[in-house]
Amino acid sequence: MKKGILYGIGAYVCWGFFPIYWKSLRQVPAIQLIGHRILWSFLLLFAVILFTRQWGELRKTLNSKVIGIYSIAAVLIGINWLVYVWAVNANYIVETSLGYFINPLLSVLLGVIFLKERLRIAQWIPVILASLGVAYLSYVYGRLPYIALTLSLSFGLYGLVKKISPLGPLHGLTIETGILCLPALVYLIFVQTNNTGAFLHTGLTSDILMIGAGLVTTVPLLMFATAARLIPLWVVGLLQYITPSLQLLIGIFIYKEPFSYHQLIGFGIVWTALFIFLVENFLANRAPSEPLPEMGEG
């Protein structure tokens, strides 16, 4: 279990430091960054599939139903990646962290709506509290926190699709990035040929970081997949808050994004909801065997 916890911490810490990585590429348009992230992620994942001799197994799973499911997942994760990278480089790191704080509660609500899951009475309390927190922050911002809501909704729906998908994380993400790879490659070739592409035009460091986007996407995912098989689901649930917590601290203390007293109240309401959610979930699900989660980073 100790090994699994270390893998889990490693995955969530990597995701938590993502803002610093994407900020170092702020001179590159977000859509180009996502194009490179998709391209290099697919190439790396495909190399892992070949190296581990899983290509034959993966090829046997491909049919119209599988392609359809993972096409939906690909669109959702593509939206999530694009909005996240744009938001980080547009100085909305604090709001992105809010999206991943409320994501677990939104996922519960999506389960009720789409999977006809039933919530215990105590589970409705954090859902209602989180809604009040978002409403309060909307009042503070003078607008809906649309970045946070887009990130949480896209990732929540992505998790919903993955819940009914038949493949594991490695095969699933390989298919998803493979589906996105062709349009990404066409777009990247287009911007390179009309001299608006950042690759090979913004310095060696930027080029290395763009290629490295594939590595920083796949390594935490594989670490998470390993952790999920070694530790209980409630431990995974606790560890996942490392990511938005780090993002929030990075946004406030490294990039000096504003964080007012009123924002603290709004976030505090959401944190209280999460605390209640985690305690209730822990007390209600201390069964000896638990299902393994299927998830990936935003």
Query: For the CA atoms of the chain, what is the radius of gyration?
Result: 19
What value does the mean pLDDT of the chain take? 89
Q: How many residues does the chain have?
A: 298
C-beta neighbour count of 38 within 10 angstroms: 29
pLDDT, one tens digit per residue, over 216-269 is: 998 998 888 788 778 776 677 678 889 999 999 999 999 999 999 999 999 999
User: Which position has the higher pLDDT, 118 or 66?
Assistant: 66
C-beta neighbour count of 32 within 10 angstroms: 21
Per-residue b/e over 146-174, b at no fewer than 16 CB within 10 Å?
bbbbbbbbbbbbbbbbbbebebebbbbbb
∠ Cα 274 277 283 (to 5°):
140
In percent, how much of the chain has pLDDT > 90? 62
Distance CA 136, CA 288 (A): 39
How confident is the model at residue 153, as a pLDDT?
94
pLDDT, one tens digit per residue, over 102-144 is: 888 888 888 888 878 787 888 889 889 999 999 999 998 899 9
As to burial, measured by CB atoms within 10 angstroms (0-12 exposed, 13-18 middle, 19+ buried), residue 130 is: buried
What residues contact residue 12 under an 8 Å CB cut-off, 6+ apart?
220, 224, 239, 240, 242, 243
How confident is the model at residue 71, as a pLDDT?
96
Q: Is the predicted pLDDT of residue 295 greater than 70, yes or no?
A: no
Distance CA 270, CA 82 (A): 25
Longest CA pairwise span in the chain (Å): 59
Domain boundaries, the chain: 2-284
